[in-house]
Structure formats: structure tokens, C-alpha cells
């Protein structure tokens, strides 16, 4: 279940007066905080995946970019060019995950 769906359920509980506003706010904050920590990826892991198996697109699967990961897999990293571009983006902290959030250097 997505975070948005869980917040909608909490909203319904608040509307039906099953929970209080304070409980709603607390649960919503927990959901938002847990979501940001689970979707974040580790920069070092991303770098190592890119460096060692980047031509196979493994780093793109790791960040949730399944479609482009598959394309990298069948083209061997865009014949090496796409792999080099991604490696530069990872090293400079400009590589993004599926949601478009940058994965900064640690």
C-alpha cells in the first residue's frame, strides 16, 4: 500500500472521528518519515554497483529505474557511453532515483 493510500485511510478515520487530530498528525509524520528512509539509496552502494556492473544497468535496477536498467542490460550500457555518463553522474552526486530525487554523495 502506498503512503498516499495510507494517509487517505487515516483521513477517513479522522473524518469518522475514530482518531483525533493529534493522532492523525503523528501517524502522518511517521508515514512520511519512514517513506523517505525506505526510498533513499546508499551512495556508496550505488557507486560500487555502477563501477563494477554498470554496463549491465544494475545500478538502475537498484534505484528503481527498471525500464532503463533493462535497456542498459541489452545494450551493454549503451555500448559503454551510457555507462560512463551514469558513472560521472553518480560520482558528482547528480544521479536520481525513480522519484527524481538526487542521491547525494555521502
Torsion angles phi and psi, residue 75, rounded to 5: -105, 10
pLDDT digits (tens, 9 = 90+) for 47-90: 999 999 999 999 999 999 999 999 999 999 999 999 999 999 99
Q: What is the pTM of this model?
A: 0.63
Q: Report the pLDDT value the prediction gives residue 90, as an integer from 0 to 100.
A: 95
Alpha helices in 40-99 (DSSP H): 43-53, 58-62, 66-79, 81-92
Amino acid at each position: 500500500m502506498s503512503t498516499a493510500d495510507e494517509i487517505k485511510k487515516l483521513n477517513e478515520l479522522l473524518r469518522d472521528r475514530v482518531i483525533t487530530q493529534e493522532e492523525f498528525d503523528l501517524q502522518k509524520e511517521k508515514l512520511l518519515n519512514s517513506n523517505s528512509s525506505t526510498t533513499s539509496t546508499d551512495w556508496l552502494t550505488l557507486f560500487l554497483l555502477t563501477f563494477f556492473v554498470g554496463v549491465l544497468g544494475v545500478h538502475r535496477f537498484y534505484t528503481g529505474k527498471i525500464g532503463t536498467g533493462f535497456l542498459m542490460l541489452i545494450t551493454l550500457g549503451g555500448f559503454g557511453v551510457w555507462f560512463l555518463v551514469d558513472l560521472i553522474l553518480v560520482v558528482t552526486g547528480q544521479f536520481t532515483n525513480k522519484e527524481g530525487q538526487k542521491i547525494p554523495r555521502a
